[in-house]
């Protein structure tokens, strides 16, 4: 969806940034939670995202559910589905089958990932002996299979397993060389990390779109747990905003909406026009943020 910001929010020195949004969902385990997923999707789809992605569970545990959800998105809406795919615990042949199964139902965008170590985050990652050794190899295999857009991950605060940010950027560069055309970042709360990262990528001449991953905080304790697991900085000012609101969901929601709006407006003021929202299968905060960005539902693109 392309929209422009209200004049008061336009950055003074830059031309109006056209806005493009995308949403990430995960395949839930139960029927009740799946109802929540589709209700969130139906609320958000009319905002005309560039795509909606569906994650792939650890070790392929959601293989069938991910497939079923992207296939239904394709069948019942105008939203472009993007299926995640990881290398964990799978041979090249098994992964090739998954790629082809996505293509068969009309999926033309794959988010290619290595995935977390099967033994758990923090343990050593050991590739499957007949599997892809790196994400770049997976990207190349997808690109060889068909006319598929490939997005990959990026880590403004570096991946926890990376020696340093330069080593992490080397991995991103290899994925771009293999054919990735977009990177979506791990979520971050302090935009300064993203700006520094953007500058480093520019210095390295890496010029594919690097889309900030935005996690609205509907539950601070949960967001902090996610952040600790993936090495995302949680600034003291952010913790202070949510302090004492554990039993006050109404105020928490208002604070959460303000925090995410501040984050995206600051990014917009710094020339960013693309956002990937980690929805956690909830529409409310994401919808409110998109509304404040000037995006409005279009009846034509509503999910069926
Ligand atoms: P890469 O970008 O390939 O590598 C990340 C880092 O790992 C490298 O910088 C390097 O430090 C290290 N590394 C990788 N390969 C090697 C190697 N051969 N030797 C030494 N070090 C190496 N996880 C899921 O399970 N399912 C999902 O659907 C999913 N979706 C995601 C979407 C986004 C946008 C992001 C940011 C993450 C997602 N993840 C998902 C999490 C991701 O799988 C983990 O962060 C994982 O640990 C790294 O996978 P990657 O593709 O980011 O790895």
Residue in 22, 54, 95, 114 to alter for ligand 1 test, most ligand atoms within 8 A of Cβ = 114
Q: Mean pLDDT across the chain, nearest whole number? A: 92
Q: Is 100 tagged catalytic?
A: no
Chain centroid to CA 225: how far? 18
Pairing of strands 149-154, 51-54: unpaired
What CATH number should be reported for the domain holding residue 207? 3.20.20.220
**pLDDT by residue (tens digit) across 88-140?**
999 999 999 999 999 999 999 999 999 998 887 788 899 999 999 999 999 99
Rounded CA separation 110/95 (Å): 12
CA of 27 to the centre of ligand 1 (A): 19
Which residue would you say has higher pLDDT here, 61 or 22?
A: 22
- Of 6-10, 41-45, 247-251, 262-266, least confident by mean pLDDT is 6-10
Residue 210 lies in a domain: yes
Residue 10 lies in a domain: no
Residue 162 lies in a domain: yes
Residue-range definition of the domain harbouring residue 167: 18-234+276-281
Rounded CA separation 299/47 (Å): 9
- Tokens of residue 98, six digits: 């998954």
Which ligand 1 atom is the nearest neighbour of the CA of 167? 9
Rounded CA separation 190/233 (Å): 7
Share of the chain above pLDDT 70, in %: 92
CB crowding 205-221: b at 16 or more within 10 Å, else e: ebebebbbbbbbbbbbe
Residues 6+ apart with CB under 8 A from 20: 1, 2, 50, 273, 274, 275
Residue 256 lies in a domain: no
Residue 64 lies in a domain: yes
CA of 153 to the centre of ligand 1 (A): 7
Residues lining ligand 1, Cβ inside 6 A: 55-56, 58, 84, 86, 111, 113-116, 133-135, 153, 159, 161-162, 168, 171, 184, 186, 213
Residue 120 lies in a domain: yes
- Of 13-17, 73-77, 249-253, 266-270, least confident by mean pLDDT is 13-17
Rounded CA separation 153/151 (Å): 7
Rounded CA separation 102/144 (Å): 14
CB 156 within 8 A of CB 199: no
Residue 251 lies in a domain: no
In total, how many domains does the chain have? 1
Residue ranges with strand state E in the chain: 20-25, 51-54, 81-86, 109-113, 149-154, 182-187, 210-214, 274-278
- Of 34-38, 107-111, 122-126, 286-290, least confident by mean pLDDT is 122-126
Rounded CA separation 27/53 (Å): 10
In the predicted model, what is the mean pLDDT of residues 260-284?
Answer: 98
Query: What's the number of CA atoms in the CB half-sphere (13 Å) around residue 65?
Result: 18
Residue 89 lies in a domain: yes
pLDDT tier for residue 4 given thresholds of 50, 70 and 90: low
pLDDT tier for residue 61 given thresholds of 50, 70 and 90: confident
Pairing of strands 182-187, 20-25: unpaired
């Amino acid at each position: 969806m392309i929209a422009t910001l209200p004049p008061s929010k336009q950055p003074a020195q830059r031309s109006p940034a056209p806005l493009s949004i995308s949403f990430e969902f995960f395949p839930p385990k139960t029927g009740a939670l799946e109802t929540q997923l589709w209700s969130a999707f139906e609320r958000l789809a009319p905002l005309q995202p560039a795509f909606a992605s569906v994650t792939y569970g650890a070790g392929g545990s959601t293989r069938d559910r991910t497939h079923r959800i992207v296939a239904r998105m394709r069948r019942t809406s105008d939203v472009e589905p993007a299926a995640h795919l990881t290398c964990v615990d799978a041979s090249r042949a098994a992964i090739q089958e998954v790629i082809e199964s996505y293509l068969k139902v009309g999926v033309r965008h794959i988010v290619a990932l290595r995935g977390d170590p099967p033994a758990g985050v923090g343990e050593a990652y050991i590739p499957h002996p007949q599997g892809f050794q790196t994400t770049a190899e997976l990207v190349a295999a997808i690109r060889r299979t068909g006319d598929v857009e490939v997005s990959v991950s990026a880590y403004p605060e570096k991946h926890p397993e990376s020696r340093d940010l330069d080593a992490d950027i080397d991995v991103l560069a290899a994925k771009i060389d293999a054919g990735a055309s977009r990177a979506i970042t791990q979520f971050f709360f302090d935009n300064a990390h993203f700006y520094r990262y953007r500058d480093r990528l520019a210095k390295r001449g890496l010029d594919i779109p690097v889309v900030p991953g935005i996690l609205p905080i509907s539950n601070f304790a949960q967001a902090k747990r996610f952040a600790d697991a993936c090495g995302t900085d949680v600034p003291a000012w952010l913790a202070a905003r949510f302090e004492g609101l554990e039993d006050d969901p109404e105020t928490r929601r208002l604070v959460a909406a303000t925090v995410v709006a501040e984050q995206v407006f600051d990014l917009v003021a710094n020339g960013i026009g693309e956002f990937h929202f980690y929805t956690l299968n909830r529409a409310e905060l994401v919808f409110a943020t998109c509304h404040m960005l000037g995006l409005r539902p279009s009846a034509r693109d509503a999910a069926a």
